[in-house]
Amino acid sequence: MPNTSSLITGGLTVGATQLVPAVEWVLSGCHGSVPESVSTLIAGLLAAGIHAAYNTAVARGATKQ
């Protein structure tokens, strides 16, 4: 299996590589230039945040049952 940077959580796969184009599109609206490494960093943080929120929701659902 190829090594990728995506995280897999309970069947949900979100990787920074999928989010980079959207982040670059949003950052293109900023006044001034933004380095490419910033968009990759933000995409990685978004992917980690999505997984953290998903894991929290699943954990809360498991404790209610």
Asked whether the predicted pLDDT for residue 10 surpasses 70, the reply is no
Q: How confident is the model at residue 12 (pLDDT cuts 50, 70, 90)?
A: low
Do residues 6 and 13 lie in contact, with contact meaning Cβ atoms separated by under 8 Å?
yes
Q: Phi and psi of 46, rounded to 5°?
A: -65, -45
Residue ranges of domains in the chain: 16-25+36-65
Asked whether the predicted pLDDT for residue 7 surpasses 80, the reply is no
pLDDT of residue 1: 43
Packing angle of the helix pair 36-64, 16-27 (nearest 10 deg): 120
The 10s digit of each residue's pLDDT in 13-63 is 667 777 888 888 888 888 788 887 888 888 888 888 888 888 888 888 878
pLDDT of residue 2: 47
40, with CB counted inside 10 A (0-12, 13-18, 19+), is middle
> Rounded CA gap, 30 and 21, in Å?
15
